[in-house]
Structure 1
Amino acid sequence: MQRYHISKHNSFYTIGLNYKKADANIRGKFSIDDASCQKLLLQAKASDIDGLLVTSTCNRTELHGFAAHPYQLIKLLCDNTKGSVEEFQEVAYIYKNNEAISHLFRVGTGLDSQILGDFEIISQLKRSFYRSKKVGLANPFIERLCNSVIQASKRIKTETEISSGATSVAFASVQYILKNIPDISEKNILLFGTGKIGRNTCENLIKHTKNSHITLINRTKDRAERIAGKFNLVVKDYGDLQTEIRTTDVLIVATGAQSPTISKDLVYPKKPLLILDLSVPKNVSDDVADLDNVSLVHLDQLSQMTDATLERRKQFIPQAELIIEEVLAEFIQWLETRKFAPVIKALKKKLKTMKDAELNYQSKKISDFNSEQADVVTDRIIQKITRQFANHLKESDIDADTSLELIQKVFQLQVETK
């Protein structure tokens, strides 16, 4: 694919790490909570970056933005997380311009997800965009790119079956419970954390385990009560966490903390206890696995579970890639149009100046000169001339840069650039 010019001084980069090379511990060091994200965006704005997206999920952290050099973005990430530049370099990827654009399309359409076809990322991408927009970091390029990725995602969802069948982190966790815990409908289940993954897991638990012994605990009790009310479940206070863990058979941890919320001293299992940690960074201390009667399973282990559903989804990848190609081509065309728009605008202005001078001359020379009619006719001619130039520049087989240079030279144009 041709390398398209994006910005005169800066390039568009994606810098990041994901589940493919970075384990949960490393991803945890580079995860970004809401407060850190806000701080990062404000820091970027202060360093004259004019377009930036920050995405941080359980299986990836990425910055997509304009910079003179990718190190600007890497420094922003390391300044606002617990990770170092050295740790980042060991597992990172850096994409530039077209490669960065293509990567974001694959991420946003579920093709790069830890579980193929998991479309959770698109709502996270939307949140990233609104965060950037609030602080003035969603320039027209970022806005159009996000909208194009969302469009591709919608089309893939409706035109292919890549997300058919229930497969997500929440579903994988429930499948694991069903396979490993006998008589699950009779067991006590404790869900700690009622964010998005917690809510989805709760719905999957109710749907697939037929269990009514589910207890919810959240630091903010009213959030847990809203979900409990929907499904008629029990809610306990955060202070009851230790007591509830002692009586439960399955503990699902879906908290969004930056450090472990379940430590060894909270767990005293008198009977077998399965703990599923669905958080990144890990919210269950690793040493909890040393306790007798405890089985600890982390998100990464769950995501490696493959089944017939996932295998079936793979056949729809080529179809999804074709849709991405179509939407990406439209985005690139828009990008090229933006590139020559200032020249077309300057050309129109120059032709209008020439027109005004000529009409002024003719009105003095011809006694019954109809200036209004002449104005309408000449405006239409200018419109047709500029459209002709624009259509020429859109042609895929021409060198747009050379044509733009020639047009500016012939008409001696003063092009306004931002």
Structure 2
Amino acid sequence: MHLFAFGLNHHTAPLAMREKVAFPAETMGTALHDLLSCSKAAEAAIVSTCNRTEIYCNTQDPSAVIEWLATYHQLPVNKVEPFLYRLPEDQAVRHAFRVASGLDSMVLGEAQILGQLKDAVRTAEQAGTLGTLLNNLFQRTFSVAKEVRTRTEIGANSVSMSAAAVRLAERIFPSVADTRVLFIGAGEMIDLCATYFAAQHPKSITVANRTLERGQALASRLNGQAVLLADLPQVLPQHDIVVTSTASQLPILGKGMVERAIKARRHRPMFMVDLAVPRDVEAEVGDLDDVYLYTVDDLASVVQEGRERRQTAVVEAETIIDSKVGEFMHWLSAREAVPVIRNLRDKAERLRRHELERALKLLEKGESPAQVLEALSHALTNKFTHAPTQALHNAQPPEREQTLALISRIYGAHDNE
């Protein structure tokens, strides 16, 4: 078994190159079959995301698999190779463990990659390209990722503005799923933040924007509705969470409008996140009872704290991974001895059958059972000890001592016995 992994990611290759070697989900099965038929790989799994394309395989010819990747995407090998990392044996194991644990991600500790890895393994299983080696590698990979996330805080702290906003909202409300969320603006920051909140499946999502068309484009992806900024006084009281980020030079939400909204809500709490610079929400709004207002600076401090805690968790995670890599490599080396063990047992079984048949024939002829058994035991002893005895006799002086020590260890034969 020869484990080998290679690929490129956001650390080694620009987006333009990552796009060229990506594998669409709908063609992954076909690609896996093509890989096994066109290269010397016995097993293979492909991980393809926006940040990485990696191939894990069981092969004796890594260069043939690398060449396949370039050929499959109609690229010269020399255009792809400068961006690739090559990971044989234990390096491949450690890399798989780190990727699944979120240590190799653009956002340290993110959990999405684990699901993407599981999808890749499921696809390889369905395509029939996953064998004993890779199946064991990935099952242990998932186990290590679970242990890292259970025993460390690698994923427990927010490290992005959007994640921090969701985490802060969860301090105010028992569940975001029980809230109504209003997004003001439809730019990149709102788009990203809305994705995080939408993943919590709130009761409703509303997008308020200066132009209805752009607001509807975002709302349709979120299964929400769109309104104009002019409608804010009417819709604001209906929402528990408000996230705003526009390019307005003046505040959109003044103290008076929010005060009226809180009154209409009968003082039920409202969580507000102002990601805009200049601010969309008047600073005085933060003084109102039942309003929890956070600015971009507030979130930045939460994010920084989360990053520091995750960096501390990295040391613990790497320690866990190192020990698990050692366990897997021990299993792998033991697997490499399986063919020899099988051949040894097969040879011993042939010798046993041969001597047994001979003994049975002697018994049929009326020979003494005691003498037949004695002859059988002597014959088996001689044949089982023939190979090591010959090895000792034929060993040259430089290797005789090592051969003697090895045979003594295998057979438990020592001078004091």
Q: TM-score range by the shorter chain?
A: 0.5 to 0.7
In 2, the alpha carbon distance for the partners of 1:187 and 1:199 equals: 11
> Is the contact made by 2:21 and 2:53 (CA closer than 8 Å) also made in structure 1?
yes
Amino acid at match of 1:15: F
Pairwise CA distance, 1:164: 1.0
Alignment-derived partner of residue 123 in structure 1:
115
Alignment-derived partner of residue 255 in structure 2:
none
> Is the contact made by 1:188 and 1:247 (CA closer than 8 Å) also made in structure 2?
no
In 1, the alpha carbon distance for the partners of 2:165 and 2:54 equals: 25
Alignment-derived partner of residue 321 in structure 2:
324
1:107 and 2:103 aligned: no
Cα distance change, pair 191–360 in 1 and its aligned pair in 2 (3 A): farther
In 1, the alpha carbon distance for the partners of 2:230 and 2:24 equals: 32
**For 1:156, which of 141, 148, 151 is the aligned residue?**
148
Q: Deviations over 1:353-403 (max 9, x none)?
A: 2222333334444569999xx9xxx9xx99xx9xxxxxxxxxxxxxxxx99
> Is the contact made by 2:157 and 2:306 (CA closer than 8 Å) also made in structure 1?
yes
**For 1:144, which of 136, 139, 143 is the aligned residue?**
136
In 2, the alpha carbon distance for the partners of 1:28 and 1:41 equals: 18
Amino acid at match of 1:40: A
Pairwise CA distance, 1:154: 1.0
> Is the contact made by 2:58 and 2:134 (CA closer than 8 Å) also made in structure 1?
no
1:51 and 2:43 aligned: yes
| Residue correspondence of structure 1 range 3-402 to structure 2 within 5 A | 6-7=1-2, 12-48=3-39, 49-81=41-73, 85-167=77-159, 171=163, 187-188=183-184, 200=196, 202-203=198-199, 212-213=206-207, 228=223, 233-234=224-225, 307-365=304-362
The 10-residue stretch of structure 1 (108-117 or 162-171) with the greater mean CA deviation from structure 2: 162-171
Highest RCO, 1 vs 2 (Cα 8 Å, sep ≥ 6): 1
Cα distance change, pair 19–346 in 1 and its aligned pair in 2 (3 A): same
Cα distance change, pair 358–34 in 1 and its aligned pair in 2 (3 A): same
Pairwise CA distance, 1:150: 0.8
> Is the contact made by 2:155 and 2:310 (CA closer than 8 Å) also made in structure 1?
yes
Amino acid at match of 1:16: G
Structure 1: which 5+ runs fail to align? Answer: 1-5, 176-184, 237-243, 250-268, 273-304, 386-401, 411-418
Pairwise CA distance, 1:143: 0.6
In 1, the alpha carbon distance for the partners of 2:43 and 2:183 equals: 50
> Is the contact made by 2:94 and 2:322 (CA closer than 8 Å) also made in structure 1?
no
> Is the contact made by 1:190 and 1:216 (CA closer than 8 Å) also made in structure 2?
no
Cα distance change, pair 148–38 in 1 and its aligned pair in 2 (3 A): same
> Is the contact made by 2:7 and 2:85 (CA closer than 8 Å) also made in structure 1?
yes
In 2, the alpha carbon distance for the partners of 1:143 and 1:173 equals: 38
Pairwise CA distance, 1:155: 0.9
In 1, the alpha carbon distance for the partners of 2:37 and 2:229 equals: 50
Amino acid at match of 1:73: V
Pairwise CA distance, 1:146: 0.7
In 1, the alpha carbon distance for the partners of 2:334 and 2:89 equals: 17
Q: Deviations over 1:270-296 (max 9, x none)?
A: 979xxxxxxxxxxxxxxxxxxxxxxxx
Cα distance change, pair 368–217 in 1 and its aligned pair in 2 (3 A): farther
In 2, the alpha carbon distance for the partners of 1:69 and 1:337 equals: 22
SS in 2 for 1:161: coil
In 2, the alpha carbon distance for the partners of 1:197 and 1:30 equals: 29
Amino acid at match of 1:24: L
How many residues align? The count is 297
SS in 2 for 1:359: helix
Q: Deviations over 1:203-228 (max 9, x none)?
A: 36959xx964387769xx8xx6xx74
Q: Deviations over 1:182-222 (max 9, x none)?
A: xxx76445599xxx998645236959xx964387769xx8x
TM-score (norm 2): 0.57
In 1, the alpha carbon distance for the partners of 2:65 and 2:193 equals: 28
Pairwise CA distance, 1:80: 4.3
Cα distance change, pair 336–39 in 1 and its aligned pair in 2 (3 A): same
The 10-residue stretch of structure 1 (111-120 or 137-146) with the greater mean CA deviation from structure 2: 111-120
SS in 1 for 2:337: helix
> Is the contact made by 1:29 and 1:82 (CA closer than 8 Å) also made in structure 2?
no
Alignment-derived partner of residue 391 in structure 1:
none
Q: Deviations over 1:244-266 (max 9, x none)?
A: 999999xxxxxxxxxxxxxxxxx
Pairwise CA distance, 1:129: 1.3
SS in 2 for 1:99: helix
Structure 2: which 5+ runs fail to align? Answer: 168-180, 209-214, 233-245, 250-301, 385-401, 411-417
Q: Deviations over 1:138-190 (max 9, x none)?
A: 12111111111111111111122211124469627979xxxxxxxxx764455
